[in-house]
Chain A
């Protein structure tokens, strides 16, 4: 161990730079961040549009399948009519029915609005 070398006596990392150079680095840096992000955004849009098209195709083929086989559907599979005041179907992503019911009740309470006047489209767990 060299006792003569204290932390405070160490030369600072790097060299000092002029305000002009710093401004150029800052502008270029901010530009590079935007450039990288915009390019990433374009890639995400391209991949997103591909998946959207694929999902639309899948949905269309499913609809066609159900339309072509209407007579096979058993009577029991008929859609049960919603109860009066029901909000209809809700998509639950990674959340239990009981928790979803609680969330809907709390939301209705917070908004001071009867539950049957609210429409919940989907509930998703945020981790």
Chain B
């Protein structure tokens, strides 16, 4: 037995040797990025429930995948490339993924089929009280206005000439500040950009308390921020039960492509409100949500293989994503100001920034800024209206983009 040869084979089989192979340095950089994301998730608590999973998925794929020869890899980008290639024998073959894929390839099927984002939406629906929105339907306008960043970022990405229309649409939806919607749309329109888009979306959502307040102070006066809003009317149980049924019927008929997201969101909400399915509501809010979060985070992280992540496009996506977030906040604030003027100062424009979804963090930011201007100001419930309206608004925006580019 040739001991030296055996040792050499062992070395060549190991991941360590791959770092010295062609392009292996890229994996080292990605491992560094994964560690930074883990730090942000754990130490800084940036959306930890998803970011820790995404970061660890990123770590796992870059420790095990060094190119198509990596047979032991947990995730194989080339399998998914073939899956999407109409000229390949494995086009749309889940069987091939199941027989040749690694653990993360198999988990990724749930992302690819749009199952995880819809199930997350079901949980979000079961956790959301739409009462503030029902009692003040005007707040829906703020949820619509705050989609401005989606379309501005889409325009910027498409006009740059770097991205295709599909990719620009997927980048724009980062401005919706809605992780599941961003993942859902990107998987359908530009799966090759899923890693950077998901990371940008969740990172910026976590950074909302830092991104929004300077814009809020810049675009509003001290007097506007001090406005105390009147208490909303109490919404009856029947209204809360009818709401998800009406929204599902109306929005799905308007944009059928929103059916998986809006349908799941409203079903979750109906379970919560109808009063006879408490067990289901509890399961969807807790157990199912946690299970799906585990699968979603780790499989999205797996799409950050060094070859597809480390490029100029990723940097552009990060920049455009931030632009999208900022302009969505601006859109909400501007319509908030308009409402302030039209109502004779009865609406505090700070609630407009909550229209960017990111429930309930954006509403909390409105509350905090309102209280800084006037300690006796309680804007939280008023901001929850636009906040949940933003979820519906971003789903409609995604549905439109899917209808145009899908």
Contact = CB atoms under 8 A, between A and B. Distances in A.
B393 A7 contact: no
Interface in B148-197: 148, 150-152, 154-155, 158-159, 161, 163-168, 189-192
State which size class the interface on B falls in: 35 or more
A38 B141 contact: yes
Nearest to B303: A7
A22 B159 contact: yes
A123 B81 CA distance: 54
A7 B152 contact: no
Contacts, number: 183
A3 to B, nearest CB: 4
B396 A32 contact: yes
Contacts of A51: 236, 238-239
B111 interface: no
**Which of A17, A19, A55 counts the most B-chain CB atoms under 10 A from its CB?**
A17
Interface in A56-113: 91, 93, 110-111
Judged by DSSP, the binding face of A is helix
A44 B81 contact: no
A13 B167 contact: yes
Given A51-B238, A91-B234, A37 B190 contact: no
B85 interface: yes
A1 B147 contact: no
Interface stretch (B11-19, B204-212, B346-354, B397-405): B397-405
A30 B148 contact: yes
B192 A19 contact: no
Contact of A17 (B141, B158, B400): B158
B82 A111 contact: no
Nearest to A42: B137
Nearest to B142: A37
A101 to B, nearest CB: 18
A47 B239 contact: yes
A5 B89 CA distance: 13
State which size class the interface on A falls in: 35 or more
B337 interface: no
Given A3-B69, A10-B192, A29-B400, A47 B308 contact: no
Contacts of A43: 246, 250
Nearest to B397: A33
**Which of A30, A34, A38, A93 counts the most B-chain CB atoms under 10 A from its CB?**
A30
A6 B141 CA distance: 45
A43 B244 CA distance: 12
**Which of A7, A19, A122 counts the most B-chain CB atoms under 10 A from its CB?**
A7
Contacts of B155: 19, 22-23, 25-26
B190 A13 contact: yes
A48 B77 contact: no
Contacts of B88: 2, 5
B43 interface: no
Given A22-B165, A91-B234, A111-B375, A126 B384 contact: yes
Interface of A: 1-3, 5-10, 12-17, 19, 21-23, 25-27, 29-30, 32-34, 36-41, 43-45, 47-48, 51-52, 55, 91, 93, 110-111, 121-122, 124, 126-127
10 contacts: A1-B68, A3-B78, A10-B81, A12-B192, A15-B165, A25-B155, A40-B251, A43-B250, A44-B137, A121-B231
